[in-house]
Structure 1
Amino acid sequence: ISKITGDDGRLPLDPAKNTVSVSVQHYLNSIGRADIGLDIELHKKMPIGSGLGSSSASTVAGLFAIKTLLGDETDPIKLLPFAMKGEEMACGHGHADNVAPALLGGFVLIRSYEPLDVVRLPHPAGLYCAIVFPDVDVPTREARQIIRTKIAMKDAVTQWGNIAGLVSGLFMQDIDLIGRSMKDILVEPVRSMLIPDFYKMREIAMENSAVSFGISGSGPSVFAFTRDEATAQLITQKLQQHLTAIKIGSNGYVSTINDAGPKVIG
């Protein structure tokens, strides 16, 4: 890796320790092109350690770039195992929950890992996402360690119902059902303790017509789904104003749902 920008010097240039180069090397090995030498420049446009899947976005971008460069026209989902190799190097386990939607776009369900079974889900048109990244440090290791390893059957049944409701809402284009179903009673109650004023931010979002509100990844970023862009912009503004009032800086983002996955922009 010849150059990295936007990371404040936090990411390794060593190709054996960077998710992008590790994933690309596995891909090249798989197609019998390990002889190819590459110079990789990585320009980070997403904050690191934000809960937004920054490393996964970089990994997928690198894989898509080399696939495009070599004229490989196979289905992008074929890149998923290589992207998971990057995640394995970064965090010790080849999770697909970030790299799969980054690669395929839209909502993605990881039904199974053994064997790997990934399902793309539809969603209502016009769905917007408001995201706020508070300037606080939530170490991923700590965020994982505080998650309960044993849960009550009652809680499991409730969560399964919410997941089923969410999937049904996406297929039925039912935004109200999506909102009712996006309730996390397993992880959010503990991870929210690491995010200042999480429940106050939820209150602000819901009072301003959010469909739902939750933690993005392991945090500290939070997100709200809305029915339109104006509402998403308003919620982002209100949340950032609240964080400013309690002396916490933040970055805000508003976006539709990207259904296309990665693309060449220049």
Structure 2
Amino acid sequence: MKRIKIKVPATVANMVCGFDILGMAIHEPYDEMEVKLTDSPEIIIKHEDHFGLPEDPSNNVAGVVLQHIQKDLNLTAGFEVTIRKHIKPGSGLGSSAASAAGAAFGANVLLGNILSKQELVHFAMFGEELASGVRHADNIAPCIYGGITLVKSTAPIDIIPLSTPDLFVIAVHPQVEVKTSDARQILKKNILFKDAIEQWGNIAGLVTGILKNDIPLIGRSLNDVIIEPVRSILIPKFGEIKTKSLRLGALGGGISGSGPSIFMLAKKKETAENIAGMMKSVYDDIGIESFVYISKINPVGIEIVEKEY
């Protein structure tokens, strides 16, 4: 195979209480990537978007991933990657993870699917390390596996795909930037033991609710007593949007990744649409442009759009 075109979905990491271990793929927004296998060993990165991301492979998350694949597999071939990003960098919707996971996925297909999904996660995490300084997989895993994933461990890599509840995801992206690296720096280094116990209960409840399709349990478990109280101060109108979403019938929700995007879960489409309208209105009222997405949980993850042999 010479060339592949793929759709790489946005992801919601943490899912409120599962910091760095839980994540889910959604249908919109998504990036478009074209990956070509070339005869020369050079890695070429091209961006067909307006975000001004570096195209030097060593400074580009997709490029770094491909460099590691090339080195570890002793490849004499190279890659040419064209990226059209619709997931804005710094949105909290897994923009860097999409580029990293898409590069690993595309290269693997072109090479004959010689890598397992866990190996794809391993290589894609090098891109996340470049972007945020940490080799985390909470966005990478659902992007590659689809649906909702639990990252039990990254050393060694142990990814557990969970069930996919029939729920609507509402995500609002206010046009302010919160860098993942900055959002990590403000986190507390020590937490109270009672808070840790409460958080463990919420994580266990959320995973159990997902596996048993127990929607009320999912709603009761969407509570974060450690990360959200600190990070929410970086996001305009976070408290108002969360309170109003719950009044409109949301199961719960919180910060998507490191923010500034906020997500909510709902059982019915009408509820999701009402929440989406409220989110847009809240930001319109204070003069902040925002984009709102309504999506089911994406059970597939990265999708192949076109192949060329």
Q: What is the Cα deviation at residue 142 of structure 1? A: 2.6
- Aligned residue in 2 for 1:187: 227
**Which residue of 256, 278, 281 corresponds with 1:241?**
281
Extract unaligned runs of 5+ from structure 2. Answer: 1-43
Q: What is the Cα deviation at residue 258 of structure 1? A: 1.1
| SS of corresponding position for 2:263 | strand
- Aligned residue in 2 for 1:26: 68
Is residue 258 from structure 1 mapped to residue 301 from structure 2 by the alignment? no
Q: What is the Cα deviation at residue 127 of structure 1? A: 0.9
| SS of corresponding position for 2:58 | coil
Which has the larger share of strand? 2
Is residue 122 from structure 1 mapped to residue 168 from structure 2 by the alignment? no
CA contact (8 A) 1:106 1:257 kept: yes
- Structure with more relative contact order (C-alpha pairs < 8 Å, separation 6 or more): 2
- Aligned residue in 2 for 1:70: 111
Q: What is the Cα deviation at residue 137 of structure 1? A: 2.3
**Which residue of 51, 61, 66 corresponds with 1:8?**
51
Alignment of 1:35-50 (within 5 A): 35-50=76-91
Deviates more, 1:236-245 or 1:65-74: 65-74
| SS of corresponding position for 2:274 | helix
Question: C-alpha separation between the residues in 1 aligned to 2:170 and 2:237?
Answer: 17
Question: C-alpha separation between the residues in 1 aligned to 2:103 and 2:110?
Answer: 11
Which has the larger share of helix? 1
Q: Which amino acid aligns with 1:161?
A: G
CA contact (8 A) 1:7 1:48 kept: no
Alignment of 1:96-245 (within 5 A): 96-124=137-165, 126-245=166-285
TM-score by length of 1: 0.94
Q: What is the Cα deviation at residue 22 of structure 1? A: 1.0
- Aligned residue in 1 for 2:11: none
| SS of corresponding position for 1:111 | strand
Q: What is the Cα deviation at residue 23 of structure 1? A: 0.6
Deviations 1:113-170 (A, max 9, x none): 232221111132x211000001112233331121111001000000000001001101
Extract unaligned runs of 5+ from structure 1. Answer: none
Question: C-alpha separation between the residues in 2 aligned to 1:75 and 1:139?
Answer: 30
Deviations 1:23-74 (A, max 9, x none): 12212333331x1122211110111101111010111111111111222254
Question: C-alpha separation between the residues in 2 aligned to 1:7 and 1:118?
Answer: 34
Q: Which amino acid aligns with 1:98?
A: N
Q: CA RMSD in A?
A: 1.4
**Which residue of 86, 100, 122 corresponds with 1:81?**
122
Q: What is the Cα deviation at residue 97 of structure 1? A: 1.2
| SS of corresponding position for 2:191 | coil
CA contact (8 A) 2:164 2:299 kept: no
Question: C-alpha separation between the residues in 2 aligned to 1:90 and 1:21?
Answer: 12
TM-score by length of 2: 0.82
| SS of corresponding position for 1:213 | strand
Q: What is the Cα deviation at residue 101 of structure 1? A: 1.1
